[in-house]
Amino acid sequence: MAETGAGQESRGQALAARLRRNRWLLAAGVVAILVAYSFAGASILVLLPALALLVAAAMLPADAERQSADTAADIEAGGLQRLSGEYLAAAVADPLIIFDHSAAMVHANAAAFAAFGGLAPGMSLALKFRAPEMQALLDGILSGQLAADVVDYTEKLPVERTYRVSASTVGHATGLYVLVFKDQSETRRIDRMRADFIANASHELRTPLASIAGFIETLRGPARNDPAARDQFLQIMQNQTGRMARLIDDLLSLSRLEMKPYLRPGTAVDLRQTIDSVIDSLGPLASESGIVIERDFIDGPVSVPGDRDELFQVFENLLENACKYGQSGGRVTVSMARVDDGQDPGIDVTIRDNGPGIAEEHIPRITERFYRVDVENSRTQKGTGLGLSIVKHILTRHNARLSIKSEVGKGAAFTVHLPAR
């Protein structure tokens, strides 16, 4: 049967495409033949068969490529046919549930059983997930109005978890549908923490600002010509601006630490010299508070990997807190000891005061931002509520940890566990 004009044109296009794909091979071959011709002085008629063979060889790889592509397609199709829906569902890390047109469960992966429990083939998902948003999601998919949809769903028990649930059809005309639950709990928790942090920071800044604004108004009015009141108000305003400056400095420090929590410091720090410097710098504060700082250090050099400035900030915060809040005890002890714990040796630095102590219910939360055991006492002592949070973040960077032991009326002990290597 004769080929039509369209068929001949198609074959011509295919031939041209093969020649374009192999144009560099053709060019190189022609150059080589011409060079040989120039050296040998052969007739051009002798070269024509060589050129014809070269063109034929350039067209052969197209057939090989087509055969290779067909083989790859056969392998892929065979591999997909061997994969069952159960295997594919098991490979999904998020909870996944497959159900039919009556909202009865057909299959669930291990993550779904772990998240929801009590699942069984044939179970009605409309009865399992009674929340209105889930009912609307199932109705929309099963009615055929939507091919896919997404809702937010909160599971209350055994613990509250928030999921972004997506529903869609499976394949074409299979009568099956799938629910995929993406856990959003950690994202929501971080969002709440961020909102709480902004609210707390705004409150901490608003209080001194309101105080300063009130005193400025008083100085411009009733106390304009009262030197004694003016001096008193200006001193209070200076204290409030100092409090705001300390708060901003702590916020910036915390922000910098949170931006690089996994950068491990690599230089060696002389721990003895660092802690001695901290004690010397806080000597005036200790004297003002009636505190005697005692040292109980181990013998010999003590070196740990880390950043000296950050470790200085850790021990400065802890010792300053001990002097401020434990001043009723009259004594603070700074001790240092080696810990030989098999393959994880380290150095423990403990700062112990003899003040009123901390109630047990406050200890788990004491490193949270802006958390205060006694709000009024903390503000009186010019605290920002961020010191221990900064300590925790710095120690995390150093692969170290903080432990707190305290009893009411018996003081408190803050121990920093630093790795020796």
Res 255: pLDDT: 78
More confident residue, 232 or 381: 232
> Which band of pLDDT confidence, cut at 50, 70 and 90, is reported for residue 82?
low
pLDDT at residue 390 in the model: 87
**Which among 81-85, 139-143, 321-325, 343-347 has the top mean pLDDT?**
139-143
Residue whose token pair is 């901290």: 278
pLDDT given for residue 109 in this prediction: 92
Q: What does DSSP say about strands 268-270 and 401-406: parallel, antiparallel, or unpaired?
A: unpaired
Please, what is the average pLDDT of the chain? Answer: 78
Q: How confident is the model at residue 339 (pLDDT cuts 50, 70, 90)?
A: confident
Give domain 91-183's CATH superfamily: PAS domain (3.30.450.20)
Looking at the predicted structure, is the pLDDT value of residue 11 above 50?
Answer: yes
User: Taking 60 as the threshold, does the pLDDT of residue 9 lie above it?
Assistant: no
Query: Quick count: other Cβ atoms within 10 Å of Cβ 141?
Result: 22
Q: Return the C-alpha torsion angle 37, 42, 46, 51, nearest 10.
A: 0
Is the pLDDT confidence value at 373 over 80? no
290-295, long-range: CB within 8 Å, 24+ apart, which pairs? 290/327, 290/330, 291/322, 291/323, 291/326, 291/327, 291/330, 291/331, 291/332, 292/330, 292/331, 292/332, 293/319, 293/323, 293/332, 293/333, 293/334, 294/331, 294/332, 294/333, 294/334, 295/333, 295/334, 295/335
pLDDT at 31: 47
Task: Let me know how long the chain is.
Answer: 421
| DSSP per residue, 233-299 | HHHHHHHHHHHHHHHHHHHHHHHHHHHSTT----SEEEHHHHHHHHHHHTHHHHHHHT-EEEEEPPS
**CATH 3.30.450.20 spans which residues of the chain?**
91-183
Please, what is the Cα angle at 9 between 4 and 10, to 5 degrees? 100
Position 20 scores a pLDDT of 54
Residue 165, Cβ density class (10 Å: 0-12 exposed, 13-18 middle, ≥19 buried): buried
Question: How many whole angstroms separate alpha carbon 70 and alpha carbon 76?
Answer: 10
The top-level CATH class assigned to 268-419 is alpha beta
Q: Considering only CA atoms, which of 235, 311, 220 is closest in space to residue 271?
A: 311
DSSP state of 113: H
Q: Tell me: the pLDDT tens digits for 162-182?
A: 999 999 998 887 889 999 999
What average pLDDT does this structure show over 340-350? 80
The strand order across the sheet containing 331-339 reads 292-296, 331-339, 346-353, 412-419, 401-406
The proportion of the chain whose per-residue pLDDT surpasses 90, expressed as a percent, equals: 21
**Which distant-in-sequence residues (6+ apart) come within 8 Å of 142 by Cβ?**
101, 103, 177
Q: Which CATH architecture has domain 192-259?
A: Orthogonal Bundle (1.10)
What letter does residue 124 receive in the DSSP assignment? B
Rounded CA separation 182/162 (Å): 8
- CA distances 292 to 204, 336, 377, 412, Å, are 32, 17, 21, 16
pLDDT at 14: 54
Q: What CA–CA distance (Å, rounded) separates 393 from 379?
A: 23
* Element containing residue 75 per DSSP (H, E): helix 44-82
Band (pLDDT 50/70/90 cuts) for residue 132 is very high
pLDDT score for 97: 94
**pLDDT the model gives residue 2:** 44
Higher pLDDT, 82 or 340: 340
pLDDT at 197 over 90: no
Residue 342's pLDDT is what?
A: 65
Q: Quick one: pLDDT band at residue 12, thresholds 50, 70, 90?
A: low
Q: Residue 250 — pLDDT band, cuts 50, 70, 90?
A: confident
The percent of residues in the chain predicted with pLDDT above 70, rounded, is 75
For the chain, residues classed under CATH 1.10.287.130 are: 192-259
Do 88 and 68 contact (CB within 8 A), yes or no?
no
Tokens standing for residue 70: 């067909």
pTM, two decimals, is: 0.55
Is the model more confident about 259 or about 375? 259
